C-alpha cells in the first residue's frame, strides 16, 4: 500500500474564537486544594538525575583485530613471468631428451610411471606417486637423473625462476601466487617437475590439471604467514642492495 501526502492536505484550519468580554483573574487555592497537592507530593517518589553517573553499556565492548593483508604485486612480476616461461620450456626440452635416452637404454624402466623433483642441495630425486617403482628402480633413476648435467642444470634454473615468480606476486591480487612460501628447502615437497609436462588433451584429465604449477602449489604448497613474508621481503631487499652496491 502506498500513502501519498500533499502539502494541501497537511495544513491545519485556523479557528478564531469570539471575544466573550469576560476578564480572567487568578484565584488563590482553597484549603482543600492545598491539602490535595500536599498529599499528591507525599505519595509521588522523587526522581533525581545525576549526569556524572556512568550508564552501563548495552553491548559488548569492541575489540581491536589486526588483519594481515600482505604485499602488493611487484612491478617486476611480468619480467618474472617471462623468465619462468622460458625456464619451463628449457626444462621440458631437457626432460624429454632424458626420457628418450632412458627409453632406448632402459626400456623396462622407462615404461614405468615416475616423476622427479629437485632437493635443497640441488640433487634430483625420483618420485613414485603411482607406486610403480621398487627400491632398485628408484635408486637407478636417481643415479641416472643426476648423471644428466643438462637436466640437473635446467631443474635448478627452473626452481630459481619459480621462486622468483611466487615472491613477485601478491597473496590478495594478481595471480595470487604470493600466498605461497616457496623456498629451496620446501620445493621438493611442493612440486613434481615431471607433472608439469603431462600432455594436454582436448578435455584435460584430472592428472594433467593436478600437475599444473598453480594447482600443485594449491595442493602441496606452504602458505605464507606475516612473519615468513617479512623475512622473505627483508632477504630480497638485502639481495637487491648487495647487487646495487
In angstroms, the CA 137 to CA 112 distance is 9
Q: Is 125 helix (H, G, I), strand (E, B) or coil?
A: strand
For 39, how many CA atoms within 13 A lie in the half-sphere containing its CB? 6
Q: Which residues of 170-181 are buried (b: 16+ CB within 10 A; e: fewer)?
A: bbeeeeebbbbb
pLDDT of residue 4: 45
Complete DSSP assignment for 139-191 = HHHHHHHHH-HHHHHHHHHHHHHHHHHHHHS-SSSTTSGGGB---TTTHHHH-
Consecutive 10-residue averages of pLDDT for the chain (245 residues): 45 53 65 71 58 61 77 96 99 98 98 98 96 97 98 99 98 94 98 96 90 97 97 94 85
Is the torsion defined by CA of 167, 237, 154, 188 positive or negative?
negative
Asked whether residue 60 is assigned to any structural domain, the reply reads no
In angstroms, the CA 95 to CA 193 distance is 9
The C-alpha cell of 231 is what? Answer: 623475512
Complete DSSP assignment for 14-32 = P-PPPP--PPP---PPPHH
Please state, in angstroms and as integers, the Cα–Cα distance from residue 41 to each residue in 28, 32, 183, following that order. 19, 15, 84
pLDDT of residue 3: 40
Asked whether residue 54 is assigned to any structural domain, the reply reads no
Asked whether residue 225 is assigned to any structural domain, the reply reads yes
pLDDT of residue 51: 57
Domain range for 214 is 79-244
pLDDT of residue 224: 97
pLDDT of residue 200: 86
- The neighbouring-strand residues paired with 223 are 180
- Which single residue is written with the C-alpha cell 581491536? 64
pLDDT of residue 124: 99
Asked whether residue 72 is assigned to any structural domain, the reply reads no
In angstroms, the CA 5 to CA 169 distance is 59
Q: What separation, in Å, do the N-terminal and C-terminal C-alpha atoms of the chain show?
A: 77
Widest CA span in the chain: 132
Contacts of 233 (CB under 8 A, 6+ apart): 71
pLDDT of residue 141: 98
CB contact at 8 A, 123 and 146:
yes
Number of domains composing the chain: 1
In angstroms, the CA 7 to CA 202 distance is 71
pLDDT of residue 243: 87
Q: In terms of pTM, does the model score above 0.75?
A: no
Amino acid at each position: 500500500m502506498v500513502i501519498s501526502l500533499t502539502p494541501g492536505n497537511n495544513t491545519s484550519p485556523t479557528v478564531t474564537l469570539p471575544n466573550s468580554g469576560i476578564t480572567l483573574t487568578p484565584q488563590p487555592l482553597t484549603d482543600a486544594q492545598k491539602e490535595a497537592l500536599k498529599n499528591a507530593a507525599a505519595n509521588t517518589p522523587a526522581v533525581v538525575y545525576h549526569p556524572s553517573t556512568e550508564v552501563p553499556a548495552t553491548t559488548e565492548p569492541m575489540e581491536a583485530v589486526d588483519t594481515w593483508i600482505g604485499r602488493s604485486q611487484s612491478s617486476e612480476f611480468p619480467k618474472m613471468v617471462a623468465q619462468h616461461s622460458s625456464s619451463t620450456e628449457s626444462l621440458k626440452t631437457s626432460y624429454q631428451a632424458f626420457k628418450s635416452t632412458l627409453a632406448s637404454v632402459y626400456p623396462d624402466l622407462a615404461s614405468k610411471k615416475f616423476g622427479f623433483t629437485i632437493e635443497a642441495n640441488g640433487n634430483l630425486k625420483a618420485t613414485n606417486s603411482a607406486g610403480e617403482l621398487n627400491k632398485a628402480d628408484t635408486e637407478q633413476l636417481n643415479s641416472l637423473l643426476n648423471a644428466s648435467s643438462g637436466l640437473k642444470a635446467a631443474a635448478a634454473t627452473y626452481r630459481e625462476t619459480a621462486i622468483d615468480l611466487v615472491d613477485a606476486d601478491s597473496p590478495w591480487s594478481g595471480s595470487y601466487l604470493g600466498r605461497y612460501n616457496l623456498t629451496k628447502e620446501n620445493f621438493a615437497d611442493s612440486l613434481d617437475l615431471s607433472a608439469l609436462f603431462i600432455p594436454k588433451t582436448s578435455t584435460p584429465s584430472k592428472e594433467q590439471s593436478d600437475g599444473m604449477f598453480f594447482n600443485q602449489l594449491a595442493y602441496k604448497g606452504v602458505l605464507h604467514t606475516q612473519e615468513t613474508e617479512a623475512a622473505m621481503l627483508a632477504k630480497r631487499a638485502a639481495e637487491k642492495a648487495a647487487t646495487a652496491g
